[in-house]
Structures are given as structure tokens and as C-alpha cells.
Amino acid sequence: MRTAEIRRRFLDFFAERGHTVVPSAPLPTPDPTLLFVNAGMVPFKPYLTGEVPAPWPRATSVQKCVRTLDIEEVGRTTRHGSFFQMNGNFSLGDYFKEEAIAFAWELSTASVEAGGYGLDPDRIWVTVHHSDDESRGLWRRIAGLPDERIVARGDEDNFWSMGVPGPCGPCSELYYDRGPALGREGGPAVDEDRYMEFWNLVFMQYERGEGPGKSGYPILGELPRRNIDTGMGLERMATLLQGVDNLYEIDETRPVLDRAAALAEVRYGADAEADVRLRVVADHVRTALMLLADGTSPGNEGRGYVLRRILRRAVRSMRQLGHPEPVLLDLLATARDCMAPSYPEVAEAYDRIADRAASEEEAFRATLRQGTTVLDTAVAKVKAEGGRALPGAQAFLLHDTYGFPIDLTLEMAAEQGVRVDREGFTALMREQRERARADARARKSGGTDLTVLRPVLDEHGPTDWRAWDTLTTDSRVLAIMGATGPAPAVREGDIATVVLDRTPFYAESGGQDSDAGRLSGASVEAEVLDVQRPLPGLVVHQVRILSGELATGERVHAAVDPEWRLGARQAHSGTHVLHAALRQVLGPNALQSGSYNRPGHLRLDFPWRGALSPAARSEIEEAANQALRRDLPVDVRWMTLPEAKELGALALFDETYGEKVRVVEIGGAWSRELCGGTHVAHASQIGTVALTAESSVGAGMRRLEAAVGVEGFGYLARERDLVARIAEQLQAPRAELPDRIAGLLDRLKSADRENQRLREQTTRARANDLAAGATDVDGTLVVTATTDGGDARTLAVAVRDRLPADRPGVVVVGTPAGDRATLVTAVNGAARSTGRDASALVKRLLDGRGGGSPDLAQGGGIPSERLPATLASVPGLLADA
């Protein structure tokens, strides 16, 4: 049974039993604690925890997931894949254990003809929590399982929680016996390769308190509403139903593996280590395809770094298999054909996917060349100093600055007989990740601990958010968080986080900056500095108290600065207009991958290889302003996500969408995007879109920046004034400025060439004089000199070349540069044959600093006042050597 069919049967089964089919959420998630959705329940988390009322009592989904914590195990076990699909059914206060167990057993064991999976019931084992007698009894009654195939396990295996206070409960897992050829008898407690887990049923019925790890925390009592969260691994079920050994050999990955083997000219199954690398390629290429399809772009941090690492591991694995040529486009096309039956969007977006992947592979090939040089130099230094380990800081530099994977550093260092301080590298990586996560959490939470905010949401419910409808509300202060935690009141000069029962302020999201404005009360005036949405449904305001005192429970008038909001609307609508203009000029592959807009300014990132030409930039700007001139209408409509996709609406992949989505249209189909931001009513209200910059923000990624509204007119006015001043200074009409400036540049270049020729003549003449005045030191001709220009290297080489070729010759030239001086040393061939070394000499003169080749070296760092004495010491150093 093909994977797409397994997926279809699961959704159909639960839809027939009253479950709403919920589309998979995009892999990127706005949760500040996660980069990607890593479990099927993540999109349902607000409903399961009660943070947001559930829109349906029963739901089912097949959720795309990415998990990379155990990426090193990919390819080495049958159970680890970085991308996987989790089939789930969820009960939100509706049915509980009995129905969940019955559903899982029926679908697993019903015949294929009856719509099930046809698993042999006599080969299914289950596990239950040791305290869950109810589940044990249900498995006996519903499935007829004997006691020996119902295995009791402890908290580590069969009790679920999110790791923090909140819902928890026992779980029951289903395993399938794949036969004695794959391991020992005795059930899942003995061998989880032979007995493969394929379904986990979580029974959320308790509330847990504070405590570490997976056990040892107190159970506070029963939940007021019990939930069901189940997850059936789609790839694992495909492994079972397709009769293959592991998830890398199912129909959605095996063709990629086979194509990789064909390109590398190896046979799968012939060599264990080669098989691991082929499985890594198959898994990583499919993962990269799905991440790229959901809008993630390779980068140096966060989600982008995860994707970059996955792509580069795939490329490197192919190199290790003996295929150094570009490979991603070939393999991604194969993965596309495998995944398109379940995810048509991977075929629709393939041109964009291929372009980004090709850019990343090209950049990585350059990284390999550059990083290899840096690594070789670092290893040589370690050896020269008698060391045996490459410092962790050096490995981190290779990773962080050059994008060099740590596993590649480990392997290449080992080839040269040097180990790597892996512990030091890991510590630096941990520090970097913790800083990044802390920054993300602080930004999303407005700098406030989420555990402090969650009780506010539990007690008062979601914020009544009015940003789409009004600029003012009369509100009540629900909670105040000061510098040290919850506070009853804050006073003049304090900065605090404030939760209101209702608010007109836009919370930063979708690329749009948060609103600015004021909170005013009977005895308080506060400035709103930032607005965030740290938890689904909860809006928080960072404020500075300008006068008086703000207290919990106080009534305030919340007012958005109308000029700020107007500028924000212009900038956000301007972003949509620029995006549509970009696609109109460059084509559909120029799809927005990130944006940021605030009053007067916007930026938009998009995949593109190479800088845009001036003509292309001009055409994009003109297309955007033509839309403003036509005064295209801006309309907002609500519809279901499938309806929006059918309509052709573009989705921003870092957003999470509910059952109903908000579609913003500018000129109908010309610009149609899912968006939660604030917008103008007509395109002409944007004023103008003036492109101010176009730049690279990574391999295959460009950034456009623009000024809009009054700021756009101001930018154009400044440009006009600048041109006027240049025309006045050159005494030329504006139309002639390009030719006049080109002529000036040509004359400057000619003057530079003439100056260079004169400098070279002067250097040659001085070199002749210096060579003629060389001092004999024990048979070696020695020249020392100073120069004030930047031609020390040129002078040293010129003097060396003018010394007699049959006489050993050493030249040292110093240059004072402010407080510090530099030295260049040059040694001819005759001196080299007597053991003279330019690199060793410059290090002796500079207390170990500097370096280069044996015949030419340089360094710096000594105080300029020491330069004469240093040069005077050269003959003595050479005589003692």
C-alpha cells in the first residue's frame, strides 16, 4: 500500500466518525520555543491546554513534522528520520479511552477491502502505564489481547506531559512484531527494532505541577475536561505495509536513495557505511524539499541554519560516496515526484525550490574550498606548536564563520592526525543556541516570563483585540508585570508589561511592527513602546509610565497614534504591492520569503540568484507605482484555508492559520495574500513606493528596501536635491551628469595610473640605491630600510631581486603606521640554501607575531618608536643565527 493511500485511508476513517479534517500546518511554527512543528499535536496545543476554545470537538490531521535533535542517528537506525508525517486523531473534551482504543484497533486490523490496514492482530503488542488498569482492561475487552501482549511500563515510556505544569496523562502504544529475522522475542521491552511502535494514544486526564524531567512531579488532580491526542507514524506504517526493513526504503524515499546510488555508482546493500550515507541522502533531500516548499530559506541561524545543515549533509554524503559534482537538483526532482501525490504544492513551487537549492549547493562548494584552506592552516599551526588537538574555538569559527560542518572538521582533522576539542565546540554551540532562544523568547513575550502570563490568560480568557476595527478602546488593566515580576502598580519612570481586557493596538506579527500610542487614566499617562502576542489569544503591552501611577484593575483609555497607524497601513499595503510588482516583473519564483514594515519603510526578501539590474529595479518600482496610480481597491475577505488556496492566495509560511483565514486583495487577483495586518482602503493612499536599496542577504536571497508615503516623497526630494547640488558643482545640465561624471572618473583613473607609474619608478630607483649599499654580515648581504607609503612589500621584493643572485641576501623593510609599525622580510634563493627563512626572521623581530613563506613574510604590532631599534638589530640577529 502506497504512503499516499495510507494517508487517505486514515483521514477518511476518522472523517466518517465525526472528525473534522484539519490541513497540516506549515512546518515553520511561531512558537518561540520551537523552530519547526516536531509533533502532530503542536498545532492543536492551544486547544488541548485550554488556552483557546476548540473550534470542533473531534479533529483529525496528517501533520508534517521535522525533528533534528537526533540527526546524527539518521541513516543508522530504522526509526529516525528528520522529516516525518504524523497521522493524528484528537478529542477535545469529547470521547476518551474506550473510543480511542477502539478506533486504533479497528483501523489497524480491519481488512484492506473494508478500508483498514489489514495488520495481523496476533502480531500486535501494546504497552500501558503500570497504573492504568482501565486501559489494560479495555485492550482485553475490545481487542481480545492476552495479558502477555499488554506490557506495563513506567513514566519514562508511558506517561506524557509537555515538561511543564499543565495537562498530562498515561499513554498506550501499539507495536507490531516484524518477525524473528529482525530481533529477539519478548515484546517491545526487549527489542524495539523487531517490535516497531506505530501508534501512540495519549490520554490527557490529569494536571501536573512543577518538577523536573519525565517523572517526580506532583499530580494536582483531574482535568475538568479530558482530551485525546494520538499519533500514528505514517512512515512507520508504510514500512510495515510495504514489507521493507526501514523507513528509508518506503515509496516516498527509496527512489531518492536509488537515484543517489546510481549517481555515485554504488550498490545499496553492498557496504554498510555506504548504505548509511545513501539513507542520509534520501532522508535529507526529502526533508529539504518539504522545508523549502513551506518557505524556509537556507541561512546562518534558526530555521535557515537547520535547512542549510540538512542540505549540506546531503551534498557531503554524496561527496563521501565519490560523487563531487552538483547533485541536489537531480535528487530533489526525484523527491518531488515521490511527494507530490500527497503534497501537490511541492510540484507547484518546484522552480522556486530548485533555484534556492542550487544557490545553496553552489555556495557550499565555495565554502568547502575556503574552509578547507582555513582548516589546513589551523591544523598546520597545531602541529608546529607540538599540539595534538584543534581547539574548540577554531572548530566553532569554521562552523560559524565559514559554514563548515563540525563532522567534516572532525573527519578532515583526523585524516591529518589531529583530534578536535569536541567538548569545547559543543559548549560554544550551546551558548550560541541559548542566546538565540532567549532572544526569541524575550522578543515574543515582551520580555516577560510566559509562566507568569499563562495564569492571566487562564483566568481572564483571550484579549478582546480590536486593531482591525478601531484606534481607541476603553479598557481595564488585568495584570502588570514589572522588572521583578507581577506588580500591583507601577509609577512614573517605570517600564512594565501590561495586559488589558481589550486593546486597539496591533501586536507585531506578519512582518508588521507593533503600534505606538498612549494609555490614559484618571491619574496616569503611559507611552506604549511595544505590543506582542506571547501566547495565542493574549496581547501584552510594554509601556513607560510618563506621569502618575498605573494599578491593576484601573480603567484606562487606550489610543493608537493615528499617524503611526496610517504609516503602518501604508507600509504593509506597500509591501503587498511591491511583492506583486516583483512577481509581475521577475515571475512567480520571486516569492516573498520574509518581510518587515513600519511607518514609512519596508523591506522584502525573495529568492533570486544575482543582483537585479538597474533596469529591473526601475521596472519593479514603476509597476508598483502604476498600481497606486490606478488606485486599485483593497478588499478583505474571510474564507477557509482550502478556499483561499483554490483562489490562489499566497501564504506567509511563518504564520499559523486557523479554520478561517483572512485574505487581503489589492486589485483582485493582482495581489492576493493571506494576511492579518492593517491596510489602506485604496492603493493610492500608499502615496508612493520608492526603492532605496537592493542587496544580498545570503546565498540565493535578495532584499529590496523601499520608502513609502511621506517618507517616500521625502526620499525622492533628497535625491532631487542631491542631483541639483552635483549639477551646480559640475556646472552641467542634469541630463549631462552621467557623461560628465564618467569623464571625470576616466581622468581620475588615468591620473592614478600615472601616479602608480611614477611610484614604481621611484621604488626601482631607491631599490637600486639600497641594493648597492648592502651591508655584508658574515657573507650575507643585508639591507634594512623604512618607507612611509604602502609599498613596503614591493620595495622589499625589488631590493631582493637586485642583490647578486650568487650571494645570500636578506632584506627587511619597515613602515610606521600611526602608533604601530609593520615589517616585511624578503630572502633570496642563495640565502634560503644557507638556512635563512623570511617567516622565521619576521617572527623573531616581532616577538612571535607575523608569518608567511620562507622567501617572503610580513607582520606588525610593535610600537612605531621601536622600529629604528628593531631594524638596527637585524645584522646582529643574522650574525648569531
Q: What is the mean pLDDT of residues 763-771?
A: 89
At residue 778, the 3 state secondary structure works out as coil
* pLDDT of res. 393: 87
Q: What is the mean pLDDT of residues 711-738?
A: 90
* pLDDT of res. 447: 53
Which residue has better confidence, 880 or 154? 154
Per-residue pLDDT of 45-56, as tens digits, reads 888 877 778 889
Q: What is the mean pLDDT of residues 238-263?
A: 93
| 438 pLDDT tier (thresholds 50, 70, 90) | low
- Ligand-binding annotation for 572, yes or no, is yes
Task: State the helix-helix crossing angle for 422-444 and 406-415, rounded to 10 degrees.
Answer: 170
- Which DSSP string do the residues of 232-271 spell out, in sequence order? EEHHHHHHHHTT-SSGGGSTTTHHHHHHHHHHHT--TTS-
Per-residue pLDDT of 807-828, as tens digits, reads 999 999 998 877 888 899 999 9
**Cβ 129 vs Cβ 135: under 8 Å:** yes
Per-residue pLDDT of 390-427, as tens digits, reads 888 888 888 777 767 777 788 778 878 888 888 888 88
Phi, psi of 691 (to 5 degrees): -65, 130
Q: Over the chain, what is the mean pLDDT?
A: 88
pLDDT at 881 > cutoff 90: no
Which residue has better confidence, 539 or 485? 539
Least confident of 151-165, 423-437, 595-609: 423-437
Pairing verdict, β 124-129 and 150-153 = parallel
- Ligand-binding annotation for 323, yes or no, is no
Contacts 24+ apart (CB under 8 A), 107-111: 107/9, 107/10, 107/13, 108/174, 108/198, 108/199, 109/143
Distances (CA, A) of 10 to 99, 108, 135, 793: 16, 10, 23, 73
* pLDDT of res. 232: 94
With a pLDDT cut of 70, the percent of the chain lying above it is 95
Residue 591, C-alpha cell as written in the block: 516569492
Q: Which residues, at least 6 apart from 500, have a Cβ–Cβ distance to it below 8 Å?
A: 463, 473, 475, 476, 477, 478, 539, 541, 556, 558
- Ligand-binding annotation for 130, yes or no, is no
How far apart CA 260 and CA 141 sit, in angstroms, is 49
Q: What is the mean pLDDT of residues 68-97?
A: 84
Phi, psi of 670 (to 5 degrees): -60, -45
* pLDDT of res. 496: 92
**Cβ 558 vs Cβ 503: under 8 Å:** yes
Least confident of 382-386, 448-452, 567-571, 680-684: 448-452
The pTM of this model reads 0.63
The size of the chain, in residues, is 881
**Cβ 481 vs Cβ 448: under 8 Å:** yes
Per-residue pLDDT of 277-311, as tens digits, reads 999 999 999 999 999 998 888 876 778 888 988 99
pLDDT at 41 > cutoff 80: yes
Closest CA to 700 of 285, 372, 399, 366: 366
Least confident of 71-80, 216-225, 555-564, 605-614: 71-80
* pLDDT of res. 79: 66
| 193 pLDDT tier (thresholds 50, 70, 90) | confident
pLDDT at 525 > cutoff 90: yes
H or E element that contains 276: helix 272-293
**Cβ 736 vs Cβ 745: under 8 Å:** no
How far apart CA 180 and CA 192 sit, in angstroms, is 12
Q: What is the mean pLDDT of residues 2-15?
A: 95
Residue 154, C-alpha cell as written in the block: 513506567
pLDDT at 874 > cutoff 50: yes
* pLDDT of res. 387: 82
Q: What is the mean pLDDT of residues 631-639?
A: 94
* pLDDT of res. 161: 84
Q: Which residue has the cell 501512540?
A: 200
Distances (CA, A) of 437 to 32, 43, 308, 594, 857: 7, 20, 19, 19, 44
How far apart CA 478 and CA 499 sit, in angstroms, is 5
With a pLDDT cut of 90, the percent of the chain lying above it is 56
How far apart CA 259 and CA 255 sit, in angstroms, is 6
Q: What are residue 637's DSSP bridge partners?
A: 663
* pLDDT of res. 654: 46
* pLDDT of res. 392: 86
Question: 3-state SS of 595-661?
Answer: EEEECCEEEEEEECCCCCCHHHHHHHHHHHHHHHHCCCEEEEEEEEHHHHHHHCCECCCCCCCCCEE
* pLDDT of res. 448: 58
H or E element that contains 503: strand 502-503
Q: What is the mean pLDDT of residues 195-208?
A: 92
Distances (CA, A) of 365 to 394, 549, 661: 21, 60, 41
Closest CA to 360 of 698, 704, 702, 703: 698
Which residue has better confidence, 30 or 609? 609
- Ligand-binding annotation for 675, yes or no, is yes
pLDDT at 723 > cutoff 80: yes
How far apart CA 360 and CA 308 sit, in angstroms, is 8
**Cβ 643 vs Cβ 549: under 8 Å:** no
Percent helix, strand and coil across the chain, each to the nearest 5: 45, 25, 30
pLDDT at 428 > cutoff 60: yes
* pLDDT of res. 70: 67
* pLDDT of res. 603: 94
